[in-house]
Chain A
């Protein structure tokens, strides 16, 4: 079946550091890929998405590129802020949006220190 693997952390960085959170996946066909963010005490919010190979999703300074050849969707940000502290989830959806929802990674807890 489908699966998503991501580094669990916690990942601790200083403000203005460069961020990479790795995400790799296993799926048949051409899934859609997502990054969700969960701020403390809140639900999950969509951060960015990509629906086909070589697409780049971007939002709030974060970027991720859909790499079919390496089955990866790594999240990057050039200069993190304290307000980026959160849990980040990589997820995929079956090609065409399967009914049984998204497959999630276990989440990466990111801590940004001033």
Chain B
């Protein structure tokens, strides 16, 4: 009953270092998302994917790259970390807008537990 799993849970980087956050979901969801959460800012969308091999930019994509090579995995990369990227990162997934009967899904997101990243 894993749902959405993020690794690592915690990471400390120095400015300029690179790293990758991994998100894995076992619910066969088509859509996956990366958000960042900052005090007073709520959740802001970084990138998202509507299927294997596809990605799109969200509200705050600069400084991040993503890949969706397999349906169940969505990777978030930081090529050259900056202190402004210190944040808590959340991955989420959901089924597409329409279900297999042609009816609308509500858009509910299923979240991972978060990855706390500190850039010194």
Given A51-B106, A96-B104, A97-B96, A89-B90 contact (CB < 8 Å):
no
Do B45 and A100 touch (CB < 8 A)?
yes
Q: Which of A13-21, A69-77, A103-111 makes up part of the contact surface?
A: A103-111
Q: Count of A residues near B, CB < 8 Å?
A: 26
Choose among B33, B42, B105, B113 the residue that contacts A101 (Cβ–Cβ < 8 A): B33
Tell me the chain B residues, 22-67 only, with Cβ under 8 Å from chain A: 31, 33, 35, 40-43, 45, 48, 50, 56, 58
> Could you tell me if A32 and B40 are in contact, using CB atoms closer than 8 angstroms?
no
Bound-state CA distance A34–B106 (Å) is 10
Binding site secondary structure of chain A:
loop
> Quick one: given A45-B111, A97-B96, A99-B97, are A104 and B42 in contact (CB under 8 Å)?
yes
Within 8 A of B (CB), among A74-114: 89, 93-102, 104-107
Q: 25 A-B residue contacts at CB 8 Å? A: A32-B108, A34-B108, A36-B111, A42-B114, A43-B113, A43-B114, A44-B43, A44-B111, A46-B108, A46-B109, A46-B110, A49-B106, A97-B105, A99-B56, A99-B96, A100-B45, A100-B58, A101-B35, A101-B45, A101-B48, A101-B58, A101-B92, A106-B41, A106-B42, A107-B42
